Amino acid sequence: MSTLRVAVMSFAHTHAIGYLAALAAMPGVEVRGSDPDGVSTGDSVVELRGRDLAVALGVDYADSYQDLLVWQPDAVVVTSENARHRELVELAAAAGAHVLCEKPLATTWEDGIAMRDAVEAAGVMLMVAFPVRFASAFGKLRAAHDSGALGQLFSVRGANNGMLPLTRDWFTDPALSGGGAIVDHVVHIADMLEGLMGAAPVTVTAIANRTLHATRARAETAGLVTITYDNGVVAAIDCSWSKPDTSPVWGGLTLDVAGTGGTVSLDFFGAAAHGIAADTGLPIESRYGADFDHAMLGTFIDAVRTGVQPQPDVRVGLRTLSIVLAAQESVRTGRTVTVPADAVAAGTAQAPTEPVSAASRQPA
């Protein structure tokens, strides 16, 4: 098995920590990162940036993105601030590298379309980092749906709740994140519904507030988003940063899917041992089970080796982005928003499943 070179561009997102560690542990994978704008704010791993984090994780480091791409990576993982996804994806595509881009795909429709056009023009693949769809529980849900056991679906209720993400303060800066809890959390459930149903969103109605963490956040911290799909399903998503600072875990994700044949309820992070810390008296929780990030990264690495486009692809990223943008417009206007036809069309066409030729790679 030949060694793959995988570059990680920016450590701004905390997911970069887990991705770097997981990739470094994979056989046949060589990892190198670059985070030229990163400044460490403390001594804990989640507070480290730049070379400090690379040293702590034992991975090679490049001082600039240019130096990183001169290394000629086969693939690039983009874990920057949301608003900077486009520039890094375009750099990676121009270097002929396949891309795994952190969610959401982008913060504007124009950036999302530009990213799609960049990877298609370069003949490289783009996968969006939606790890929850790689949970075994979701695979079983999809199998039940595809077999007809659930009958005709008619409603979905999802909740993606978490703590206020202050270890990386850009999450609450709309200029860098594109928004608050709606941007951060709606896309995960929207992606699972895409993977489950393949239906197109038709309308979006959303409400949001900043009651929680009002003095600490610059964007909405609580929201409820309702989506109607062209197959008749209505989905309601609670996307709040509602976990208290004393929560033993960052958050969780649940999904209730109702059909004429039955209802399925899933708690994707529910497998845990619970207790009370003797020194503080606070609750503690130790979660166990398969790591979704490892499964997602394994799928991406396999795709780079085979040249076959993995899911979720750039078009799924666009469709989930269209839902977020419609939700933001609904919050601004107080009205139900119709998802634009061009957004639906952009996320409908299927990416090619034939292997991408190595000859299509561009020089770094």
Question: Would strands 337-338 and 201-209 be described as parallel, antiparallel, or unpaired?
Answer: antiparallel
Give which of 239, 177, 242 is closest to 213, Cα–Cα.
242
DSSP track, 48-90: --HHHHHHHHT-EE-SSHHHHHHT--SEEEE-S-GGGHHHHHH
Q: What is the pLDDT of residues 230-272, one digit of tens each?
A: 999 999 999 999 998 888 777 889 999 999 999 999 998 876 5
pLDDT at 341: 82
**In the sheet where 98-102 sits, what is the strand order?**
60-61, 29-34, 4-9, 75-78, 98-102, 126-129
Rounded to 10 degrees, the C-alpha dihedral 105/108/110/114 comes to -20
Give the H or E element holding residue 29.
strand 29-34
Q: Supply φ then ψ for residue 6, to 5 degrees.
A: -120, 125
Question: In this model, does residue 283 exceed pLDDT 80?
Answer: no
Q: How many Å is the Cα radius of gyration of the chain?
A: 20
Give which of 343, 338, 341, 340 is closest to 205, Cα–Cα.
338
pLDDT at 274: 61
Question: In this model, does residue 15 exceed pLDDT 60?
Answer: yes
Q: How far is CA 38 from CA 13, 53, 71, 89, in A?
A: 11, 10, 20, 18
Strand partners, 158: 237, 255
CA 273 from chain centre, in angstroms, equals 26
pLDDT at 269: 81
Q: What is the pLDDT of residues 325-345, one digit of tens each?
A: 999 999 999 999 999 887 777
Q: How far apart are CA 251 and CA 98, in angstroms?
A: 31
Residue 27 token pair = 């056989």
Q: What is the largest CA-CA distance in the chain?
A: 60
8 A C-beta contact, residue 62 and residue 33: yes
Spatial neighbors of 358 by CB under 8 A, at least 6 apart, are 307
Query: pTM here?
Result: 0.91
Higher per-residue confidence, 62 vs 279: 62
Q: What is the pLDDT of residues 23-68, one digit of tens each?
A: 999 999 999 999 999 999 999 999 999 999 999 999 999 999 999 9
